A and B are shown apart, each in its own frame.
Chain A
């Protein structure tokens, strides 16, 4: 692809700006960065507005900007499940997560596993929650790096370096090094500050798309007409099956249940300065959902623009598949300078969550593995130092992922990641309400859920997260996360009741009912 100097200059300038911000952030609302809750949770001092940017920057990732419209581009209406998904997720944040915030604030917990450890007095269950979080996050970070890779390639900047049969993308490596350096030095303050820039760029880009693209393609009516009737709506299910309907609904429900359990979500939530900050954000966060809906529609616009068959984008589609649809649409319809802004929005939009994800994984490793099992008596300064180093290791892991494995694997693992992380729901979310659950039952439910969920995804040879259940003679295609979670919940609750009726046992609960506010 040929290089557009104006677009590249703007892109690089914006990247340089956020790099400076990333380092400056260390001194923002100054705290002692040798304490884990200062480095890894920003000192729990973020108010409503900063949290709004941070959570928005955290939860609407490159996956949203690249993969959701790519899915709509490829699969049509089915990809729009992201819309009901982000509608359902905010009431969950509003109702459930202030409780988690309160108990964590009261006891100084930094991770969801910290809470589980204290609530059920079980190191094994806490370890399961921590490991699930770390493993599920890795491919998620890899996907952010793919997002950066896509825009870099679309700018024509892909300068590859071949080392011993391995191809390394130099600009990607540069972006990665920048990200790693400021995360190390500033902790959560860096993505919080950069998120403000990111969101302004994203909203600006979405606004520009909504004005420019329909004008070029002859209005929304023409776009929907050109996209083709077959893709506009979900196919009507055949007799004896819920078909696309149950797939669509379960994808929305399962994704909503999973999202807030991810370590980066928990980190974002716990960094809030009060529970009302979380509740207010649950009300205003849907502004991002509207943007997401419009971004998803860009998939249909890309269809209507016909970028798929244009020879100048063939190379991009060959390398990135449908993930190249949005960059191609932007290249096709935007003036150069706006291409630079839009691509910077996507690139920085990937950096922010990648930073938070690596911090969140680092918190989990340090708190729930290193301090719990390896060095129980480590000092707070040592704990914070380990977290900083682990944040580098986690990002390097994501990088190795996309260098060594074909991209399809990263996407498959991301899919599995969603199935896996949702299996921590009983321990974390039910745990907020039910102290009487048995840790052994929760652990067994978790193992069964992980096993069954992975098995269901394996049935499609790891190409789809939809598994068809057969219930009472009716076929029900269902997101594997939901089916696995149903099994998990049944086991966790059922076995707890059985165990309780066999033998009462005193609770090993280090929290009190009043701690949940």
Chain B
């Protein structure tokens, strides 16, 4: 199955806390700068969908690389 790490805290998982920035609502509750007519409030939050997916993918591939390293 892979992905199993024998020991240690997986520090790289901490990047998955980044989306919690979305809980700080005042940081994005405004309309400028707008993008293609979309107010900032909307496109900023939608951008986080993509950013979070990328961060998760990175964590996944680091896990895979570490697992390969552990096997060697």
Contact = CB atoms under 8 A, between A and B. Distances in A.
Contacts of A223: 37
Contacts of A233: 29-31, 39, 41
B3 A87 contact: no
A222 to B, nearest CB: 8
Given A253-B23, A279-B60, A283-B53, A77 B41 contact: yes
Interface in B10-66: 13, 16, 19-20, 22-26, 29-31, 34, 36-39, 41-42, 45-46, 48-50, 52-53, 55-57, 59-60
A85 B45 CA distance: 10
A95 B39 CA distance: 32
Contacts of B20: 88
Contacts of A77: 29, 41
Contacts of A94: 16, 56, 59-60
Contacts of A88: 19-20, 22
Contacts, number: 106
A499 interface: no
B4 A517 contact: yes
B48 A84 contact: yes
Contact of A91 (B1, B29, B37, B56): B56
A44 B60 CA distance: 22
Instruction: Categorize the interface residue count of chain B.
Output: 35 or more
Contacts of A314: none
Interface in A269-285: 274-276, 279-280, 282-284
A63 interface: no
Given A275-B3, A276-B1, A245 B26 contact: yes
Contact of A286 (B23, B34, B38, B52): B52
Given A77-B41, A224-B37, A91 B49 contact: no
A68 interface: no
B2 interface: yes
28 contacts: A80-B41, A83-B45, A83-B49, A84-B19, A87-B48, A87-B49, A88-B19, A88-B20, A94-B59, A95-B13, A95-B16, A219-B37, A220-B36, A220-B37, A221-B37, A233-B41, A236-B29, A252-B22, A252-B23, A253-B23, A274-B1, A279-B60, A283-B56, A286-B53, A289-B49, A290-B50, A293-B46, A517-B4
Given A253-B23, A286-B52, 13 more contacts: A77-B29, A83-B45, A87-B45, A90-B52, A220-B38, A221-B34, A233-B41, A236-B29, A252-B22, A276-B1, A284-B53, A286-B50, A293-B46
Interface of A: 77, 80, 83-84, 86-88, 90-91, 94-95, 98, 219-224, 232-234, 236, 244-246, 248-249, 252-253, 274-276, 279-280, 282-284, 286, 289-290, 293, 297, 517
